[in-house]
Structure formats: structure tokens, C-alpha cells
A and B are shown apart, each in its own frame.
Chain A
Amino acid sequence: MVGAQDPVVARQLVKKFDDFVAVDQIDVHVAPGEAFGFLGPNGAGKTSTMRMIGCISPVSSGELRIFGLDPEADGRKIRARMGVVPQLDQLDNELTVMENLVIYGRYFDLSRRDARAKAAELLDFVQLTERADSKVEPLSGGQQRRVSIARSLINDPDLLLLDEPTTGLDPQARHVLWDRLYMLKERGATQIITTHFMDEAEQLCDRLVVMDAGKIVAEGSPQGLIAEHVRREVLEVRFGHGRNEEQVEKLDGIGGRIEALPDRLLIYADDGEAALSELHRREVVPESSLIRRSSLEDVFLKLTGRTLVE
């Protein structure tokens, strides 16, 4: 059901840069309270889509409604209800962490007093209270991203846009960030997240679209997409470089689909253990083997023939 005031409704949305089509007739609906994802490799058109939703990039064609409003006519009103964490941090290096938040609050017409109170609360939320008076520059990448997130929450947004929130962060910093985003989700904030990490999409998104070359190629919940497009498990086997492809014919009938990558074969099966036994029975012995659950990465590979992270 599409509600008239829903956070995002897009029909046949297109973004062109001169003749180049970056976003190609996509349909998107984000419901209130939902954590919605755009999963796709670099250049898929995720940022271009986010910038249109964020009302800073004019729509080339198609229809876009945010909270039922037209970005062209009501951009200011829409942006007042939105929080944006851009792909590259846009923090003010001349100002302290606290000043960054307070000044941003002022852009949303908060009084100085309210902005300061809210900023203190948010710095606590992202666990950076003790860095409040530090400049931005000396902070680590993960800390800077947390400042960006805190700043994007200064106006209590109804919709939060996160463009590749953990790209460039080390694993520990990612988990700290995921934890905070999860808390926000529990509080009922609608989130739109773009990512090229399948684990991030699985962790954070209720529902997502897989994007490639400006188009949406699949849509569903992470589990639903996996169930729909690939078998439950994957048996990964390696025969040594350049020798993977030639093994495929010997594996006929094992598992469902077989994907040959330069460095390994992926055998999709409901039971990976059984598939491996069958390999051994046929005396096809790989140098190494690994059984794992199927992921969105496998869905993407099946749909596009390419891996998400090159």
C-alpha cells in the first residue's frame, strides 16, 4: 500500500548528466519506519538517486514525491524534515565538533540554546562527548562519520539518508556505527541506506533494491531475495588459478547453479556438505573448499554476472 504522505514514492525516476543516464527509470517506495537499502556496485547510480531524494539534485524525468511533496516546489520544506549523511563527510574543518553540530542546528532554525542542548545529547548518543571541543581534523574516519551522523540528527529528522555510511571504515568502526544505526531504527526513524557491502545491507535493511547501471534489477527483503534467486548454501572450491573453469563439466548435476570465477567455483546447493561429498565421490579434489550460507553477494552475481566489490 502506497500512502500519500509516505517518505518516498518514485515512479520512472530518471537522472541524466548531459546524455549520460545515471538513474534509469526506477520505481521506489519507502514506507514509514522502514530501513530501505540501495545495494549496488560503484557507479550504479546510488548517490545520484540519494541526491534527488535529498532535494539537492533536480529530477531529469519521472515523478518523485517525498512525504507527498514535490522536491522542485517544496525542497526547503522537505529538507527541514530530513537528515543527510553524505558519502564523503562534509564537516567544517575550521570549527570544533560541537560548533559543527550547533551551526547545523541553526540552519534548521533551532534557537542557539536548543541547538546546544540537542548537540550535547547527540554527541552522547554517538559516544563523542569528550571530543566536543576538538577540531574535526584530528578525529579518526570512524569518529568523523559519527559526527556526521550526529549532525544529521540535529533536526530530529523523519527520514534519514545514509550514503555508504561505512565505506572506508575499519571493521571495528563499522560495528560501532551499525550499532548506532540499529538503535535509531528501533526508535522508529525511517532510513534509506546505500551500500556496496552485502553484509551491511543484510544487517541494516528491512527491504532493499539491487541496483546496477542505473536500473533496479531486484527488490525484496534480504532473506526473500536470497530465497528467490539462489540456493541456501554455497560450496566454494578452488582448483588453482586458471584451472577452475575446466572442472565445471565434471560437476554436472551437483547442486543447482555453478558460477565460475577466475579464482574459484561457486556451487549453489541446498546442502553444501552433500555437494562436497559428491565431489569427493567423483574424485574431483579441490585444493581447498568452504561451505557458507548464500548472501546478497550471490544474488548480485546471479543477476548481473559480476561481483559487487571488484
Chain B
Amino acid sequence: MTHALHVFERDVVFLRRIWKAVLLSAVVQPVMYLLGVGIGVGSLVDRGADSADLLGGVSYFAFYATALLATTPMFVGGQEALWPTLDGFMWSNSYRAMLATPISSRDVVIGQLFRYALRCVVTAAGVAVVLAIFDDTRSWGLGLAVLVGVLTGLAFAMPFAAWTATREGDSSFPAIIRFGIIPMFLFSGAFYPVSQLPDALEPVAWVTPLWHGVELCRGAVLGGLGGGMAALHVAVLLAYVVGGTAACMVTFERRLRT
């Protein structure tokens, strides 16, 4: 474990230099979405007679803004597990350099898990600070939602990292973003309840990690989520994190010890 922490330390040293940029981009993007979608679209949606019913009794702004607590770490955690992670295998070869020391491939995996988590914490916290400004979303639950955001980010980052460890180049990465992340962003209940999806598509949303993250964040900030459902959402996210980590253990070892 101390070895994994040493691996993580490398990222802390790096992040200490660039944390302002990370935080800024973490905040700027969600704020744009908030203004553009939350307020702009929200002013239309809230005029619908039964919209409040469909949204569970909250404003569209609150409904959408709370989802950003999960979607933003998804983008950040997912991206971090693609290019910057491949760099450790083939451009700077920093993982290979680690393997020449007492560090093992397992230590590298756990160190990267901490690294993704740190990015997600910075990002989710940035979003939470912005949401605390608005009456509709100001809540102590924002703290809990940051943790959920981290869990959601890791649910993407760990499986992605396992995939990255098998790649000899980055050619598949844009497709992962375009056909994996973006559709999930659009169809996992961030912009509207998944009950609005065609019936055939609804179960698809249920298996995506993002939907569980979004539901949890919304519940944490706005309430209205039962304990049983909350436990189920957490369990699904954890399953992605644990499964992804286990896969990383295999693919990192295979890649680094040939």
C-alpha cells in the first residue's frame, strides 16, 4: 500500500503545479451548461403544466444541475484513463520506469485509482461550489454528492484504464468518447428522466454507471431517494469500480511484464 501511495505522490506533485487549470476547467464547463441548459432550457420546461411532476417536484434547473455532479467527473475520470494513462505505457513510459523499482504493477494500478479519484474530487468539488451559489441546489447533500461524483468517475476510469493498458496507440480513444461517453451523457437521465425514453431504451440506461451516479447525486442534494434504491445505485457503481480495477490488475501486469 505504501508503494501505491508513492505512485500517487507523483501525481500529487504534478497536480500541485496545474491544479488551478484543472479546477478552472472543472468549473467553467459546468457553468456554461448551467447557464445554457439549466437556465435557458429550464425556463421553457418549467412552463409545462405537469413538468414539475415528471421532474419529481423540483425545478428543471435543480434537476439538471445536480446531474452535473456526476457527469463532470465522468468526463474527467474517463479522459484521464485514456491519453494520460497510455502515456505511462508508451510515450513517457513512466509506468515502465516504476517497474524497475520496488513498485509492482498492482501498485501502479492502485496508484492510478488514487490519481483518477483526486481528479474527480477536484472536479466534483468545483461543481459543488458553483451549485452552492444557487438557492435551488444549496444543500449539505452537496458534500455527499462529491463522493458520489468520485465513485462515478472511477466507474468509468477503471474499466477505461484496463482497456488503455491493452492499446498500442490512441486511435480508438476518440470513438470511445464519441460513441461511449457522449451518448451516455445524453441518455442517462441527466437532461430528462429516463422514464421519458422509449420503453425499449429505458433498461439500457439502467445498466449504465452514469444513470446510477446521476440518480444518487440528485437524491443527495434534492432528497426523495429511498435507502434501498440508494444502496442499489452505490452497489452498481462499486461493481464497475471493482470490476474495472480487477481487469486493470490483469492488463497492467500483462503489458508491463513481458
Which B4-61 residues have a C-beta within 8 angstroms of A? 6-7, 9-10, 13-14
State whether A79 touches B101 (Cβ < 8 A).
Answer: yes
How far is it, in angstroms, between the C-alpha of A84 and the C-alpha of B6 when the chains are bound?
A: 19
Which residue in A56, A107, A155 is a CB contact (below 8 Å) of B257? A56
Closest to A154 in B: B101
- Assess A103 versus B13: contact at CB under 8 Å? Given A56-B257, A91-B92, A93-B92: yes
Q: Please, how many residues of chain B have a CB less than 8 angstroms from a CB on the other chain? A: 23
What distance in Å separates the Cβ of B97 from its nearest Cβ neighbour in chain A?
A: 4
- Assess A86 versus B6: contact at CB under 8 Å? Given A76-B104, A94-B14: no
How far is it, in angstroms, between the C-alpha of A53 and the C-alpha of B103 when the chains are bound?
A: 16
State whether B97 touches A90 (Cβ < 8 A).
Answer: yes
State whether B101 touches A108 (Cβ < 8 A).
Answer: yes
How far is it, in angstroms, between the C-alpha of A75 and the C-alpha of B99 when the chains are bound?
A: 10
Return the CB mask of A200-238 against B: 1 if under 8 Å, else 0.
000000000000000000000000000000000000000
Which of B100, B103, B104 has most A Cβ within 10 Å? B100
State whether B94 touches A109 (Cβ < 8 A).
Answer: no
Closest to A93 in B: B92
- Assess A107 versus B3: contact at CB under 8 Å? Given A76-B104, A79-B101, A80-B102: yes
Residues of the B chain whose Cβ atoms lie less than 8 Å from the Cβ of A91: 92, 97
Q: Which 9 A-B pairs have the closest CB atoms?
A: A90-B97, A107-B101, A84-B100, A90-B93, A106-B6, A76-B102, A80-B102, A103-B10, A56-B99
Closest to B107 in A: A107
State whether B14 touches A95 (Cβ < 8 A).
Answer: yes
- Assess A86 versus B10: contact at CB under 8 Å? Given A57-B257, A57-B258, A107-B3: no
Given known contacts A95-B14, A103-B9, what 18 new A-B pairs fall within 8 Å (CB)? A54-B100, A57-B257, A76-B102, A79-B100, A79-B101, A84-B100, A86-B93, A90-B92, A90-B94, A91-B92, A92-B10, A94-B92, A99-B13, A103-B6, A103-B10, A106-B6, A107-B3, A107-B6
What distance in Å separates the Cβ of A98 from its nearest Cβ neighbour in chain B?
A: 10
Q: Does B256 contact A (CB under 8 A)?
A: yes
- Assess A56 versus B9: contact at CB under 8 Å? Given A92-B94, A94-B14, A109-B2: no
How far is it, in angstroms, between the C-alpha of A1 and the C-alpha of B154 when the chains are bound?
A: 55
State whether B103 touches A58 (Cβ < 8 A).
Answer: no
State whether A104 touches B101 (Cβ < 8 A).
Answer: yes
Residues of the A chain whose Cβ atoms lie less than 8 Å from the Cβ of B257: 56-58
What distance in Å separates the Cβ of A153 from its nearest Cβ neighbour in chain B?
A: 13
Closest to A81 in B: B102
Q: Does B96 contact A (CB under 8 A)?
A: yes
Residues of the A chain whose Cβ atoms lie less than 8 Å from the Cβ of B14: 94-95
State whether A56 touches B102 (Cβ < 8 A).
Answer: no
What distance in Å separates the Cβ of B220 from its nearest Cβ neighbour in chain A?
A: 34
Interface of B is mostly: helix
How far is it, in angstroms, between the C-alpha of A91 and the C-alpha of B92 when the chains are bound?
A: 6
Residues of the B chain whose Cβ atoms lie less than 8 Å from the Cβ of A108: 101-102
Q: Does B236 contact A (CB under 8 A)?
A: no
Q: Does A183 contact B (CB under 8 A)?
A: no
Which B63-104 residues have a C-beta within 8 angstroms of A? 92-94, 96-104
Interface of A is mostly: loop
How far is it, in angstroms, between the C-alpha of A54 and the C-alpha of B256 when the chains are bound?
A: 13
What distance in Å separates the Cβ of A15 from its nearest Cβ neighbour in chain B?
A: 10
How far is it, in angstroms, between the C-alpha of A82 and the C-alpha of B189 when the chains are bound?
A: 53
What distance in Å separates the Cβ of A210 from its nearest Cβ neighbour in chain B?
A: 26
How far is it, in angstroms, between the C-alpha of A99 and the C-alpha of B81 when the chains are bound?
A: 23
What distance in Å separates the Cβ of B143 from its nearest Cβ neighbour in chain A?
A: 31
Which residue in A58, A76, A104, A106 is a CB contact (below 8 Å) of B97? A104
How far is it, in angstroms, between the C-alpha of A103 and the C-alpha of B6 when the chains are bound?
A: 8
Residues of the A chain whose Cβ atoms lie less than 8 Å from the Cβ of B103: 107
What distance in Å separates the Cβ of B122 from its nearest Cβ neighbour in chain A?
A: 17
Residues of the B chain whose Cβ atoms lie less than 8 Å from the Cβ of A99: 13
Q: Does A88 contact B (CB under 8 A)?
A: yes
- Assess A90 versus B2: contact at CB under 8 Å? Given A56-B256, A95-B13, A104-B101: no
Residues of the B chain whose Cβ atoms lie less than 8 Å from the Cβ of A95: 10, 13-14
State whether A86 touches B100 (Cβ < 8 A).
Answer: yes
Residues of the A chain whose Cβ atoms lie less than 8 Å from the Cβ of B104: 75-76
**A to B CB contacts below 8 Å, 25 in the list:** A56-B100, A56-B256, A76-B104, A77-B102, A79-B101, A79-B102, A80-B101, A80-B102, A86-B96, A86-B100, A90-B94, A92-B92, A92-B94, A92-B97, A95-B13, A95-B14, A103-B6, A103-B9, A104-B97, A106-B6, A106-B9, A106-B10, A107-B98, A108-B101, A109-B102
Closest to A80 in B: B102
Residues of the B chain whose Cβ atoms lie less than 8 Å from the Cβ of A107: 3, 6-7, 98, 101-103
Return the CB mask of A17-55 against B: 1 if under 8 Å, else 0.
100000000000000000000000000000000000010
What distance in Å separates the Cβ of A144 from its nearest Cβ neighbour in chain B?
A: 12
